[in-house]
Amino acid sequence: MPPTLVDARRILRDHFGFTSFRDGQERLVSAALAGRDALGVLPTGGGKSLCYQVPALALPGLTLVLSPLISLMEDQTERARCAAIPAAFITSALSAQERRRVMEGVAAGRVKLLFVAPERLETPGFMDMLGEANVSLIAVDEAHCISEWGHDFRPSYRRLGVLRRKFTAPVMALTATATPKVRRDILEVLRLDQPLRMVGSFDRANLGWFVEHVDGHAAKMRAIRSIVASEIGAAVICGATRRVVETIRSSLARLGISTAAYHAGLEPADRSRVQGEFLRGNTRTVVATNAFGMGVDKSDVRLVLHYQMPATLESYYQEAGRAGRDGGASRCIALWGKSDQRLHESFLDRSRPPVHLLKRATLALRRRIGAGERGLVEVGQLFRAGGGEDQFWTLLAALERLGTVRVYERIERAGSDPVLDLGVSASDPDWSRAHRLRLAGIAGLRAVRDYATKPKCRRRALLGYFGDEASKCGACDVCR
């Protein structure tokens, strides 16, 4: 007999200690138990993970979760195990022996919840291994990564439609940040069949939204010191890059404020230590890139402070939304200066380069490798052909997203340049699409600038961007 909501509520009580589901959770869980596809857009702190964790225990087979970040997978696996769910993850940080042990556990039915990155599906033999497991549910976490029109786009997410050809299991797409256009893209790419659409309110009444106009590093550090000194709870300070994070940490240390830094440049053991100390309350303030913000699940963060606004309102809402997940009053503060706009424009040039540069890089690659061919080429040669190292990697990533180039492997060589195993398409991509994506990026930057500079309610501006409405505010710098 298939599991029912009565079974789900029992699991919720026995494994998680809750007597009832939150808004939206029960409908998504019910859809999974009934074998129905679903799209869930729930705000940060809305309990998205429960929507697949409960079915994982109720359904007979394996629940596969596609997740974008190693830190996120590690945190979710640990929390699932604390709820007595047999969970595991497979990432590049594991040794070959550790990955093999997890896969053996999946094949033997000892794992109920498996976290992997979408790129893992393209690893030789992995899909065959999953085919031998009884996959009962596929959950796509951070599903906004599917859409080119949103933020944090990942090409591997774009190829997840292949799952519908391999498995008959229902698919549950989950995200906290998706505009109406991004939602339509998720439905189309994942080929969701008559799905339940559960879109919760983006409004979180316990959060206060503030923007402070401060220009220059010295002035921003004075503002950060003042803000952090007045905060008695846990705080996260967000920086756009590793260098910015380390600079903020060092500057605060010189001002007598002890903080920890978290970014992808740290060793895995150091990242785990920083995250663990923060979660246990031994470290009050962490300076971090967004990799930490997406991976941490600490309910009592009272302040999320951005050194500079992210390049999209989606990113800002998601990162700032780590504040006040326990429902307590919390502040989301962004510092904004004239130089931030220039930084955003530079970021746009890296993520969505002008079409004329993409065409020039494509021509250089075809001359080097051959149109419609695959070959090995030294990275140094490509730097010279592509206009320098920084610009080359930018253009290569953009061409890979467009499907013009495929990077099969990077081969490191002692004492000489690495070699890339590349394939180059003989046909041109849709250059007009590339241009439209750039225009969408420009529109996103304009939305960030308007949010930061126009004297209108921050809450209404944020919610309106996501197609939602605010009934009242009184908790932003404009309304106050």
DSSP for residue 257: -
63 and 150 together in one domain: yes
Residue 293, pLDDT score: 53
- One-letter amino acid of 479: C
Distances (CA, A) of 39 to 5, 142, 321, 405: 19, 11, 20, 31
318 and 393 together in one domain: no
Q: Average pLDDT for residues 287-293, to the nearest whole number?
A: 74
39 and 102 together in one domain: yes
326 and 381 together in one domain: no
185 and 247 together in one domain: no
Q: Of 143, 175, 199, which marks where a domain is finished? A: 199
21 and 143 together in one domain: yes
Q: How many Cβ atoms from other residues are within 10 Å of residue 263's Cβ? A: 22
What is the share, in percent, of the chain residues with pLDDT greater than 90? Answer: 43
Q: Of 288, 312, 342, which marks where a domain is finished? A: 342
72 belongs to a structural domain: yes
293 belongs to a structural domain: yes
Residue 295, pLDDT score: 53
253 belongs to a structural domain: yes
Give the model confidence (pLDDT) of 231-285 as tens digits.
888 999 999 888 999 999 998 888 888 899 988 788 878 888 888 888 888 889 9
Give the domain CATH number at 449. 1.10.10.10
16 and 146 together in one domain: yes
pLDDT(70) > 90: no
480 belongs to a structural domain: no
382 and 456 together in one domain: yes
66 and 95 together in one domain: yes
478 belongs to a structural domain: no
pLDDT(470) > 80: no
Q: Locate the DSSP E strands across 263-363.
A: 285-288, 301-306, 330-336
Give the domain CATH number at 174. 3.40.50.300
Q: How many Cβ atoms from other residues are within 10 Å of residue 92's Cβ? A: 9
Distance in angstroms (rounded) separating the CA atoms of residues 460 and 164: 38
Distance in angstroms (rounded) separating the CA atoms of residues 91 and 78: 14
Distance in angstroms (rounded) separating the CA atoms of residues 376 and 326: 52
CB 357 within 8 A of CB 388: no
Distance in angstroms (rounded) separating the CA atoms of residues 26 and 155: 31
Q: Of 312, 342, 372, which marks where a domain is finished? A: 342
477 belongs to a structural domain: no
164 and 26 together in one domain: yes
Assign 134 to helix, strand or coil: coil
Residue 348, pLDDT score: 84
Crossing angle of helices 458-465/313-320, nearest 10°?
120
75 belongs to a structural domain: yes
Residue 130, pLDDT score: 87
Number of residues assigned to the chain: 480
Residue 315, pLDDT score: 87
pLDDT(388) > 70: no
Residue 16, pLDDT score: 92
Residue 341, pLDDT score: 80
408 belongs to a structural domain: yes
- One-letter amino acid of 66: L
Residue 57, pLDDT score: 95
- Residue 294 banded pLDDT, cuts 50, 70, 90: low
70 and 159 together in one domain: yes
Going by their DSSP bridges, the two strands 207-213 and 38-41 should be labelled as unpaired
Give the model confidence (pLDDT) of 202-228 as tens digits.
888 899 999 999 988 899 999 999 999
Residue 175, pLDDT score: 92
Assign 436 to helix, strand or coil: helix
Structural domain harbouring 111: 5-199
Number of domains in the chain: 3
DSSP for residue 145: G
34 and 183 together in one domain: yes
Q: Average pLDDT for residues 58-74, to the nearest whole number?
A: 90
pLDDT(387) > 60: no
Residue 238, pLDDT score: 93
